[in-house]
């Protein structure tokens, strides 16, 4: 099959290479629309895909009905747009939304659904908020309300119910809902969710057939193709021993309770995948040595692998990373893993990283998929991709944006894949020691914290050493990432200042080189996976 992305304008091609999900497809759709009539078929496909991802959203349905061409999916979108037309503001609900009070938002919507069963306004809002709910009665009731959607909303309601069952770990119920939706209206999104429900049941052969059906609708979808190729190759289950000695490095300032949980999780590691591993905790100037005491108390639980270093003052994150890396017992290691003091690793994390190294031995750094402790169905940090924004000569401004495809939708499985990127999260990442030595330490200009890991990844890219995202490893993060991005307060001020430093550090030409290196690696990865999915198809293979 001919590559549907061949010959596209550069910016659109790169957006498609990164991919998107849910509302994250809207920028892709709009970029294709802006490219003009020559991309009408792609615009139509993206509009339909954006609606299929959120089938009860009246706005997405209206755009799909307008741009989707003549197909059963377009006619269904038009019917939903009419049946679930956008409702006016609901002041009480909007106040709750402004406070991000998910529990009360859900309770309000469920009460309205009980009083007005099948009312499109409440079902559409419920479908948006329900993936954020913890497992329990409210989530189960939301699934039931959506599954019982009447008339023209029955198919999108079944689809949404299947998604909630999948997120709740009820794969058989998810399969039943999704098959009901597919029997009436096949869509790419429903086929993909069905594939994930089948995979959760261990039915890997049927999973690949469902992935293939989804790809027939979305041959341009890089996330879908990457996920399908990785499952076909068994990367989602792969474990391997790290080919060398490892140092696990943690720095902590005044967070003894979180550190205790992180070390307890680390103690449960399957050390067979790194039998000579050492763990070093840097007490970064914590009051009264409390962090050192917490770490020392866990020496036995970590099998005697733990060493603690105490500094009298807080030197900040970049200097703490450098201090740890410079320790003699760390310098002699083959691999170095940095782990935040509030990051909780699963027992198989070393085997997962070992598989990443085995599959992509030349990567500059290996990263993982991070989920928030309070929102485990959403990706907090994953792969980031560099999109330069050239500045006018003699002016200062932002030199790039980061495309982060995991921001806009729950993770149904589409982000559990491996691929090259421009940057991975510093919450938990792995370096080969020679690479760390050649690139140099973390820049202390980004003290006390924020963007030192991104800066380091940019320096890797300038050496053509590309970060590798390994979304088959999931790490739980206790704190809320991005607080510094909310205006107001010292954390925001420091984050903003460090952004200014970061964008001022690199000329546009250097950012273009870094971006080109990352996207070249991503293109090579796509070709390899396309060949794996369609043997004999060569560069024209779909994916």
Q: How many CA atoms lie within 13 A of 310 on its CB side?
A: 13
CB-based contacts of 171, cutoff 8 Å, min separation 6: 165, 197, 198, 200, 201
Phi then psi for residue 347, to 5 deg, are: -60, -30
Is the model's pLDDT at 374 over the cut of 90?
no
Contacts of 290 (CB under 8 A, 6+ apart): 254, 256
pLDDT at 465: 97
Q: pLDDT at position 486, please?
A: 58
Strands 418-420 and 468-477: antiparallel
Instruction: Supply the pLDDT for residue 543.
Output: 33
Q: Tell whether the model's pLDDT for residue 542 goes beyond 70.
A: no
- Kindly state the helix (H) or strand (E) to which residue 311 belongs, with its residue range: strand 306-311
Helix axes 137-147, 154-167, angle to 10 degrees: 160
Mean pLDDT along residues 376-385: 95
Interval 201-210 mean pLDDT: 97
* pLDDT reading at 46 higher than 60: yes
What φ, ψ does residue 272 adopt, rounded to 5°? -60, -25
**pLDDT bracket for residue 135 (50, 70, 90):** confident
Q: What is the pLDDT of residue 258?
A: 95
Tell me how far the alpha carbon of residue 299 is from its chain's centroid.
33
Q: What is the pLDDT of residue 536?
A: 62
Query: 240, 272 in Cβ contact below 8 A?
Result: no
Least confident of 22-31, 37-46, 313-322, 387-396: 387-396
Using pLDDT thresholds of 50, 70 and 90, give the confidence band for residue 125: very high
pLDDT band at 394 (very low <50, low <70, confident <90, very high): confident
Pairing state of beta strands 418-420 and 343-344? Answer: unpaired
Q: What is the mean pLDDT of residues 317-338?
A: 97
User: Tell me, what's the pLDDT at 278?
Assistant: 97
Domains 91-220 and 246-525 alike in fold:
no
| Average pLDDT for the chain | 92
Per-residue pLDDT reduced to its tens digit, 68-85: 999 999 999 999 998 877
Q: Is residue 184's pLDDT more than 80?
A: yes
Contact indicator for 284, 320 with CB cutoff of 8 Å: yes
Q: Which long-range contacts (CB under 8 A, 24 or more apart) does 304-310 make?
A: 305/271, 305/277, 305/278, 305/279, 306/263, 306/278, 306/279, 306/280, 306/281, 307/278, 307/279, 307/280, 307/281, 308/280, 308/281, 308/282, 308/283, 309/280, 309/281, 309/282, 309/283, 310/282, 310/283
- pLDDT over 50 (residue 539): no
Above 90 in pLDDT, residue 223? yes
3-state class percentages of the chain: helix first, strand second, coil last, to nearest 5: 55, 15, 35
Q: Give the model confidence (pLDDT) of 258-294 as tens digits.
A: 999 999 999 999 999 999 999 999 999 988 888 999 9
**What's the rounded Cα separation, in Å, for the pair 460 and 1?**
35
The architecture that CATH gives domain 91-220 is Alpha Horseshoe (1.25)
Instruction: Supply φ then ψ for residue 449, to 5 degrees.
Output: -170, 170
Which pLDDT score is estimated for 537?
Answer: 52
Rounded-to-integer distance, Cα 159 and Cα 156, Å: 5
- Least confident residue range of 92-96, 127-131, 538-542: 538-542
Give, for 262, the enclosing helix (H) or strand (E).
helix 256-267
pLDDT band for 397, please (50, 70, 90 cuts). Answer: confident
Structure tokens, 365:
């750094």
Task: Indicate the domain borders of the chain.
Answer: 19-83, 91-220, 246-525
pLDDT over threshold 50, residue 540: no
d(CA 238, CA 82): 47
Supply the pLDDT for residue 87: 65
The answer to whether 351 touches 241, Cβ cutoff 8 Å, is yes
Q: Which whole-number Å values give the CA distances from 406 to 78, 143, 381, in the listed order?
A: 28, 23, 8
Which tokens in the block code for residue 82?
A: 């009419």
**How far does Cα 349 stand from its chain's mean position?**
17
Cα–Cα distance, 19 to 9 (Å, whole number): 15
Helix (H, G, I), strand (E, B) or coil at 38: helix
Q: What DSSP element (H or E) covers 114?
A: helix 102-115
**What dotted CATH number matches 246-525?**
3.90.550.10
Three-class HEC string of 357-392: HHHCCCCCCEEEEEEECCEEEEEEECCEEEEECCCC
pLDDT at 143: 97
pLDDT of residue 487: 64
Has residue 481 got a pLDDT over 90? Answer: no
The average pLDDT across 114-122 equals 91
Residues 95-111: what's their mean pLDDT? 92
For residue 89, the model assigns a pLDDT of: 75
Predicted TM-score (pTM) of the model is 0.94
Per-residue b/e over 338-361, b at no fewer than 16 CB within 10 Å?
bbbbbbbbbebbbbbbbbbbebbe
Question: Residue 1: helix, strand or coil by DSSP?
Answer: coil
In this structure, of 199-213, 260-274, 316-330, 525-539, the range with the lowest mean pLDDT score is 525-539
pLDDT one-digit tens code per residue, 245-264: 999 999 999 899 999 999 99
At 1, the pLDDT band (50, 70, 90 cuts) reads: very low
């Amino acid at each position: 099959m001919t590559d549907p992305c061949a010959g596209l304008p550069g910016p659109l091609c790169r957006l498609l290479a990164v991919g998107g999900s849910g509302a994250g497809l809207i920028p892709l759709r709009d970029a294709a629309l802006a490219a003009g009539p020559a991309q009408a078929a792609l615009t139509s496909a993206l509009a339909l895909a954006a609606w299929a991802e959120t089938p009860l959203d009246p706005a997405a349905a209206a755009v799909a009905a307008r741009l989707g061409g003549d197909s059963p999916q377009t006619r269904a979108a038009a019917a939903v747009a009419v049946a679930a037309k956008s409702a006016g503001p609901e002041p009480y609900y909007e106040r709750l939304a402004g406070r991000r009070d998910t529990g009360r938002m859900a309770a309000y919507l469920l009460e309205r659904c009980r009083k007005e069963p099948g009312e499109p306004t409440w079902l559409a809002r419920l479908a948006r908020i329900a993936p954020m709910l913890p497992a329990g009665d409210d989530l189960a009731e939301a699934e039931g309300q959506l599954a019982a959607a009447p008339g023209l909303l029955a198919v999108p309601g079944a689809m949404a119910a299947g998604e909630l069952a999948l997120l709740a770990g009820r794969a058989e119920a998810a399969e039943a809902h999704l098959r009901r939706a597919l029997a009436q209206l096949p869509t790419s999104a429903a086929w993909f969710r069905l594939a994930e429900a089948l995979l959760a049941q261990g039915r890997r052969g049927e999973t690949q057939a469902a992935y293939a059906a989804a790809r027939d609708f979305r041959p341009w979808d890089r996330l879908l193709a990457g996920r399908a190729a990785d499952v076909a190759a068994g990367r989602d289950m792969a474990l391997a021993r790290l080919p060398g000695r490892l140092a696990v490095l943690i720095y902590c300032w005044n967070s003894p309770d979180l550190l205790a949980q992180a070390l307890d999780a680390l103690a449960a590691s399957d050390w067979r995948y790194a039998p000579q591993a050492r763990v070093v905790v840097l007490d970064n100037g914590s009051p009264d040595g409390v962090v050192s005491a917490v770490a020392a108390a866990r020496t036995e639980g970590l099998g005697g692998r733990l060493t603690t270093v105490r500094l009298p003052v807080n030197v900040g994150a970049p200097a703490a990373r450098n201090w740890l890396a410079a320790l003699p017992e760390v310098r002699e290691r083959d691999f170095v893993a940095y782990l935040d003091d509030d990051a909780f690793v699963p027992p198989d994390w070393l085997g997962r990283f070992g598989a990443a190294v085995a599959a992509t031995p030349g990567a500059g750094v290996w990263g993982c998929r991070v989920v928030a402790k309070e929102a485990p169905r959403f990706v907090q940090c994953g792969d980031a991709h560099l999109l330069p924004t050239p500045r006018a000569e003699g002016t200062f401004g932002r030199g790039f944006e980061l495309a982060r495809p995991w921001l806009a939708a729950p993770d149904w499985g589409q982000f559990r894949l491996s691929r090259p990127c421009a940057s991975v999260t510093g919450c938990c990442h792995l370096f080969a020691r020679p690479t760390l030595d050649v690139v140099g330490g973390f820049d202390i200009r980004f003290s006390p914290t924020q963007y030192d890991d991104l800066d380091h990844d940019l320096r890797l890219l300038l050496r053509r050493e590309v970060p590798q995202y390994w979304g088959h490893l999931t790490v739980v993060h206790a704190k809320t990432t991005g607080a510094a991005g909310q205006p107001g307060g010292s954390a925001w001020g420091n984050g903003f200042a460090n952004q200014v430093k970061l964008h001022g550090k690199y000329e546009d030409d250097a950012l273009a080189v870094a971006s080109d290196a990352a996207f070249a690696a991503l293109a090579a990865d796509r070709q390899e996976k396309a060949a794996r999915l369609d043997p004999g198809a060569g560069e024209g293979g779909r994916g």
